[in-house]
Amino acid sequence: MKRKHKLHLTAFLFLIFTTCVMTFILKDSNNYNYDFDKSLETSIQNISTNDAIKNINNKEEKAKEEINWQPIIEKYRGKEITKIETDKKIIALTFDAGANADGVEKTLEILEKENIKGTFFLTGKFIEKYPDKVQMIINSEGDLGNHSYSHPHFTQISDSEIVNELEKTEKAMEKFDLKLKPFFRFPYGDRNGESRKVINNKNYIDIRWTIDSLGWKGTSGGITKESIENRVISKTSSGAIIMMHLGSNPDDKSHLDSDALPEIIKKLKEQGYEFVTLMELFNLED
């Protein structure tokens, strides 16, 4: 009888012990889940906070990059820029876009591979006709300048028509929520004192070039890849502005500028040159 009583007591005590252990485990599990949930929530909050901080920092960095252009515009009022005077071995590759977009992808691929940012002068019609290519140019993070709307001869149109050409191109860029830099390149290089005065009054600087690659003439114009390479490399000097084109020759469809670009970059890098945007050239001006 006593033995049976002891067995019942042992079973009772074991039941109490088991109950206590299970209660402890469940409580600890709940605490663990709670801690895990809180940890996850905190991590998510931290990620959101970090993203917010990163966005703020990015905006601050962009703000730092902004230039007060008005004094520069006034400095060059009535003048044209063919190069930036500097002793540094720094040059700018610039590309005009108007006729077509045949060379856009190849040119951008080369620039990306070489870690170079260019400066691109776009016409309004190009912007409207090739929005996907314009977005690619924007993604390359180069500078964007105004090249008129319809690429007319500016010495053959009125002041009001010049203003209209500038404003229509600005309007075309609104789709991309992006403003053009205050750089203007006259179509065909056709300009005079009056037309320059009009673009200055619209807060644009007259950007010409140091070297025209002549790639736009194409093979039908007697130009070759090698002649472009030799021309650009031999004429380059510190602060030079090199002009090339994003469109192919309309007659022979050649795009010699992009064909020659890799060798030009290679040779000029070997000579110690660095490639910058026009905005960076202005920042580095002596």
Instruction: Report residue 173's pLDDT band, with 50, 70 and 90 as the boundaries.
Output: very high
CA atoms within 13 A on the CB side of 182: 19
CA angle 255, 189, 86 (to 5 degrees): 90
Whether residue 223 is found in the same domain as residue 208 = yes
What's the total number of domains in the chain? 2
Whether residue 8 is found in the same domain as residue 87 = no
Active-site annotation holder among 96, 102, 257, 259: 96
Average pLDDT, the chain: 84
Whether residue 2 is found in the same domain as residue 81 = no
> pLDDT, tens digit, for every residue of 43-79?
444 444 344 434 434 433 444 456 788 888 898 999 9
Whether residue 129 is found in the same domain as residue 51 = no
For residue 84, give the 3-state DSSP assignment.
coil
Instruction: Report residue 10's pLDDT band, with 50, 70 and 90 as the boundaries.
Output: low
Whether residue 114 is found in the same domain as residue 234 = yes
Whether residue 137 is found in the same domain as residue 254 = yes
The yes-or-no answer on residue 8 being catalytic is no
Q: Examine the pLDDT at 276 and tell me if it is beyond 90.
A: yes
Q: Examine the pLDDT at 237 and tell me if it is beyond 70.
A: yes
The yes-or-no answer on residue 245 being catalytic is yes
> pLDDT, tens digit, for every residue of 85-110?
898 999 999 999 998 999 999 999 99
d(CA 11, CA 5) in angstroms, rounded, equals 10
Whether residue 215 is found in the same domain as residue 112 = yes
Whether residue 37 is found in the same domain as residue 122 = no
DSSP classification of residue 99:
S
Active-site annotation holder among 147, 151, 245, 255: 245
Domain boundary among the residues 46, 66, 86 is at 66
Whether residue 108 is found in the same domain as residue 56 = no
Q: Which domain holds residue 15?
A: 1-66
Whether residue 165 is found in the same domain as residue 276 = yes
Asked if residue 92 lies in contact with residue 111, where contact means CB atoms within 8 angstroms, the answer is: no
Whether residue 22 is found in the same domain as residue 39 = yes
Residue 150 confidence (pLDDT): 97
- What's the CATH code of the domain at 204? 3.20.20.370
Domain boundary among the residues 32, 47, 66 is at 66
Domain boundary among the residues 45, 66, 87 is at 66
Strands 205-207 and 183-184: parallel
Instruction: Report residue 255's pLDDT band, with 50, 70 and 90 as the boundaries.
Output: very high
Whether residue 161 is found in the same domain as residue 107 = yes
pTM of the model: 0.77
How many residues does the structure list for the chain? 286
